[in-house]
Amino acid sequence: MIFDTLTRVWHSSEQLGYEISEAVRAQAKRPGDLDGTIGAHAHAVECVGGALVHGFRSHALQAIVPHEIIADLVRRQSHRLVGIAGIDPMSPEWIDDFDKAQSLGLAGVSISPSAQGFHPTHSNAMRLYDRCMRSGMPVFIVRPGCMTPSMVLEYDRPAPWDEVARTFPKLPIVLGHFGFPWIDETIALLSKHPRLYTETSTIASQPWRLYNTLLLASEAGVLDKVFFGSGFPFGSPSQAVEAIYSLNSYALGTHLPSIPRAALRGIVERNPVATLGMKAILTAPSSATPAPAAQPDAMRPASPTPWR
């Protein structure tokens, strides 16, 4: 089945913090664009068999998509959704956040160094990776969808993850967005570290870049370490799948190389839950499974806790 490795959800873009919320509104071309609400998410992922749903937290940007939102959505669709906790290792409460994510059954950790303001080898981050490795929770490195001026782009560079992967060789790590714009660094890391992977969001909406990127990955022999990711709501799962399957149209009638369709299918259908050894079970679908619903006001988060 098709499995989307990177989708996001929120009640309101304000939960992403003022900077990102403003960027979301500026990037939306018409009303309803970049809608990350539960109903929009349910509609978007109808075309896939399974999806990971990522939370987000940034103490620096005063952003928080609470674990409860992710856990409740996953509980309603446990036959096809798996929750990933947004954890900020720069937050004073990150250890409590981690423990809470585990208690709610979230199966991985999502971090965003550029938006959270830390170098990947910061001591707090290294302690988080150690906890993740001991708990069997993979680490996903993603951007929150929109870049803002205060984010530190340098912290998204893939190269520092070489040290992390050497230090924690058993920790599954997924470098989001193929490490864009540092795609070559990402491919080098994929070739070097057995437990390091990537996914296609961001570049899935740029077909020519996607074609060239997957060709490079094919030549390096690492296509089997690539997951499909749409990046919803900053990307459409259906359009991303179509983009991948139509890549070889660039090679028709030319001397350009093509990518075997079986390899493309392998990307689209690769199951991160099984591949990464996540402690999550996709239950059998049931007609009694309740449909997603808007959360009551009581579930909406309070303002992020200030620095102590």
**154-170 pLDDT per residue, tens:** 999 999 999 999 999 99
Bond before 194 cis per omega within 30 degrees: no
pLDDT of residue 305: 34
* Residue 292: strand, helix, or coil: coil
pLDDT at position 71 over 90: yes
What pLDDT does 285 receive?
A: 64
* Cβ neighbours, 10 Å, residue 143: 22
Token digits of residue 36: 């990350």
Q: Is the pTM of this model over 0.85?
A: yes
Tokens of 225: 């370490």
Contact 69, 299 (CB under 8 A): yes
Share of the chain above pLDDT 90, in %: 86
Residue 299 banded pLDDT, cuts 50, 70, 90:
very low
Binning pLDDT at 50, 70 and 90, where does residue 295 land?
very low
* Domains located in the chain, CATH noted: 3-299 (3.20.20.140)
Q: Is 86 left (phi over 0), alpha (psi -120 to 50) or beta?
A: beta
Non-local (6+) Cβ contacts of 142 within 8 A are: 6, 54, 110, 111, 112, 176, 177, 201
C-beta atoms surrounding 136 within 10 Å: 15
Nearest residue to 211 via CA among 170, 257, 166, 171: 257
Sheet holding 81-86, edge to edge: 3-8, 50-54, 81-86, 108-111, 139-141, 173-175, 196-199, 226-227
- Within a 10 A sphere around the Cβ of 212, how many other Cβ atoms? 16
Burial 168-180 (b: 16+ CB within 10 A, else e): beebbbbbbbbbb
